[in-house]
Structures are given as structure tokens and as C-alpha cells.
Amino acid sequence: MDLILEKTMSLVNYEDVDEISRKIIEIVQTIQSLSQSGKIRTLDKRSLDLLSNMFEVSNQAIKIRDIANKIEYIKDCRIYSKKFRLESYNVIPKQLLEELENLEIYSDAITQLTASQFIILSAIVYKSDTMEYLRIFYSGLSYVQQVVEKYLDYLSDKIKKSINHLVQDILANYQNSTVKANVNESIPLEEVNLLKDIKNIAKAIIYDVEHYINNPLKKFKNLDELWDYWSEIYDEDEMEETSETLIKALNETRERQGRPKLFD
């Protein structure tokens, strides 16, 4: 359990959160430089204020040592970033807008992963009885699974590996506990079931992370390459269904950026 505690504490660290702040500062400085050099249209006062807020909040987050407070600043910065994107989509280069949106998504992932980290730590450190400990631990691990299912593509390789190493240790620990519980009739059924649930959810997380690492997403230089690849792996009906999914995703992305849809 000491090893699980140690790996849980290092799941998300100061540097992971500060990386978000540094990248936001970088983008803000790039936008300000483009504006001052006349390479983009002059930003209105509201957009400039939002940029200034992003810069100040990110700098403040870096100065703070408490990771929970860092996360609160990152949440605020995400709000400013989204407002800025929606108001300046017709001025700022597309690449910078996409970088900001990806950072917003990554911020959500880190925020939720940090929440799961705190829940697991509270289970380990402040447990009052076995059942309460298992319930809290399972809840924290469930949050890890949600992050993996929703944000795995946005997580850094370091964090993917940290999740995998932590959950491998959890699986090894709870696999042994489950075996012992199955042969010990004095252990309450609810406890046995919680041990099984923890083991199963750990297996699911490991599968998702390792499958992603061993089967990275195929990338394409242009749409022609994508269509050629799809024609190799899909039949006609699957091609149509996949195309509809892509069109829907592109339209939704444009709408989030405050721009008109590409397709009717």
C-alpha cells in the first residue's frame, strides 16, 4: 500500500499543472506580438482584457506551491481562454485557437485527474473502517477511468505511464485481496464485491491505456489519405456512417469556436 500511496501522490504534480500555465503564457505573448506588429487586426478592449487576465492568472498559478490552488487558477484561466476564442475567432490564426482549445481540454483532464488523486489519497490516509475505505477508493479509481475514457488522447505520455504504473500496482494489490476474500467466509459480501469492482475497474483502465500506447492513432497529411485509408477498412455503409460522424464533429468544433458550420 505504501507504493500505491507514493505513486498516487506523483500522479499529477506541480510541473504537470505549471506546463499548462507556461503554454498559455507562450500563446498570449505570441498573440500580443502579432497584434503589435500589425500581422493581425487590432484586438478590441474586451479581447485584450481577456488576454491580460489569462496572462496574469497563469503567472499567479506558477507562483503558488499548493496544487489544489494551482488547479483553481487553471479553471479560471480556462474560462478566460474560452471567452477569448469565441470573441476573437475571426482575428486570431486558426492554429493558435486550436492550441488554446486543446489546452482547455487538457486543463479539464488534469482538473479531474487531480480530483481523483485527492479522493484516492483521502481513502488511503484518512480511512475510518474497511468498507468506507473501499468505497472511497473505488470512487477515486472510477474518476481515473472517466478521465482515461474521455481525455486519453490529450494526456501527456508521462501521465499515461503514471496512470498505468499506479493502476498496475492497485490491480496486483487487490487481486490478492480478492482471492483471500473469496476463500474467507467471514468477510461481508459487500466487501468482497467492492474488492472485485476495484480489481475489474483497474483491469479496464490498464487495457485502455496499454491499448492506446501500443496502437497509437493513425495520422494523415490530408483528407485524401484519410478517405483512402477508410476505403481499405470500411465497407460502403460503414464509410457513410463514419463520414457522417466526421461531419458532425467538424460542425460541432466550428460552433464551439463561434464560427458557422462547414456542412448543412
C-alpha to C-alpha distance for 131 and 111, rounded to whole angstroms: 27
Q: For residue 38, give the DSSP letter.
A: T
pLDDT on residue 188: 82
pTM over 0.85: no
Q: Are 178 and 195 in contact (CB under 8 A)?
A: yes
Residue 52: closest CA among 79, 83, 80, 23: 80
| pLDDT tens digits, one per residue of 171-230 | 988 877 665 655 566 778 888 888 899 999 999 999 999 988 887 666 666 667 777 776
| The three three-digit cell numbers of residue 98, written as one number | 486550436
C-alpha to C-alpha distance for 41 and 254, rounded to whole angstroms: 21
C-alpha to C-alpha distance for 42 and 182, rounded to whole angstroms: 69
